[in-house]
């Protein structure tokens, strides 16, 4: 009689639990608290804006007079640069896009047009690298492990066009130095701040609302990198957008300022101010047929 050996069974696979990482932990009560805080923060910022906007209207004549007293500068454009999305390649001097979505020194229709009247601006840079950095938020080339501006912006290499520009811009407000803002600051520093806004700030754990007292503070605010926070989060203009509106009302045709992302200057031109102006900007290179290659007093209305 033969002995049967027991069949060998394959070893049982021990299933290991999948690794899990706790990214965050919060409750429904936390969500409700955060929502209340977000609503209170929005209420605070909106109320602060309309308080200051009301005071700007009361002192409008003084503010415009203070800006008008600043000596305008002339900016010579020698192979400056502008970058546009590829679909707008045949309209490189058009400022229409700035009305769809406002820029640093102009208000667009992304805000409520019934409350904030949109006006266009044409944005230029002194060189290609600065125009690229302003457009995409990063450099044209990056070291290993870093990102280029296009990668930051999730853009493909062929998704935009760049043009070279020459010309001469007159009646330009020069924001390269803070001292041009001194008379303007002398007015706004005297604006009163109501107690209810101070109390609301305290409830939110914020520092009390304060007013600009130095021209260097105002210049820093106008060139802040995070200027889009107010338009995006609260639907109200940012400080540089309000300032751009006042410059336009004071008779300036644009503003020259140092780039916050590149290594040179930027220029925001107000096309609606060029009806009787000597300002002109034109393409350096030959343009395709039908393209408006020059912005001046004759063509501005076709480019907004």
pLDDT value at 9 more than 80? no
What would the pLDDT profile of 147-190 be if each residue is shown by its tens digit? Answer: 888 787 788 878 999 999 999 999 999 999 999 999 999 999 99
SS3 45: helix
What's the whole-number average pLDDT of the chain? 91
Work out the end-to-end distance of the chain between its first and last CA atoms, rounded to an integer number of angstroms.
104
Q: What was the pLDDT predicted at 10? A: 63
Q: Using the structure block, give the residue that is written with the tokens 């957008």.
A: 241
What lies within 8 Å, CB to CB, of 235 at 6+ separation is 111, 112
Q: Can you tell me the mean pLDDT for 40-50?
A: 92
CA distances from 53 to 48, 206, 225 (A): 9, 21, 22
pLDDT value at 25 more than 90? no
Domain range summary for the chain, segments of one domain joined by +: 33-69+177-222, 72-175+227-304
% of the chain beyond a pLDDT of 90: 75
Q: What was the pLDDT predicted at 21? A: 77
Q: Under a CB-based contact definition with an 8 Å cutoff, are residues 11 and 157 in contact?
A: no
Q: What was the pLDDT predicted at 161? A: 94
Q: What is the pTM of this model?
A: 0.87
Kindly give the interhelix angle for 195-203 and 28-58, rounded to the nearest 10 degrees: 160
Q: What was the pLDDT predicted at 6? A: 60
Q: What was the pLDDT predicted at 40? A: 84
Q: Under a CB-based contact definition with an 8 Å cutoff, are residues 112 and 245 in contact?
A: no
% of the chain beyond a pLDDT of 70: 93
Q: How confident is the model at residue 141 (pLDDT cuts 50, 70, 90)?
A: confident
């Amino acid at each position: 009689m033969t002995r049967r050996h027991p069949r060998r069974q394959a070893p049982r696979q021990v299933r290991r639990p999948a690794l899990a990482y706790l990214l965050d932990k919060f409750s429904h009560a936390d969500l409700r608290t955060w929502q209340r805080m977000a609503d209170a923060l929005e209420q605070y910022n909106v109320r602060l804006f309309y308080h200051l906007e009301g005071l700007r209207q009361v002192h409008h004549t003084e503010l415009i007079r203070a800006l008008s007293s600043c000596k305008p500068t002339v900016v010579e454009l020698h192979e400056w640069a502008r970058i546009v999305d590829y679909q707008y390649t045949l309209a490189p001097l058009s400022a229409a896009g700035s009305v769809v979505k406002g820029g640093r020194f102009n208000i667009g229709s992304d805000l409520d047009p019934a409350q904030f009247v949109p006006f266009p601006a044409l944005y230029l840079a002194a060189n290609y690298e600065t125009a690229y950095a302003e457009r995409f938020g990063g450099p044209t080339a990056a070291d290993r492990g870093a990102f280029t501006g296009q990668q930051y912006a999730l853009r493909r290499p062929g998704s935009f066009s760049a043009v070279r520009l020459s010309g001469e811009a007159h009646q330009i407000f020069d924001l390269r130095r803070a001292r041009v803002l001194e008379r303007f600051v002398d007015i706004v520093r005297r604006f009163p701040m109501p107690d209810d806004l101070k109390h609301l700030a305290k409830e939110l754990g914020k520092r009390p609302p304060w007013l600009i007292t130095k021209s260097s503070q105002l210049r820093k605010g106008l060139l802040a990198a995070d200027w889009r926070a107010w338009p995006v989060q609260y639907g109200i203009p940012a400080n540089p957008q309000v300032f751009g509106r006042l410059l336009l009302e004071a008779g300036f045709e644009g503003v020259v300022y140092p780039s916050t992302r590149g290594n040179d200057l930027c220029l925001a031109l107000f096309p609606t101010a060029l009806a009787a102006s000597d300002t002109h900007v034109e393409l350096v290179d030959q343009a395709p047929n039908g393209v408006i290659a020059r912005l001046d007093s004759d063509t501005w209305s076709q480019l907004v």
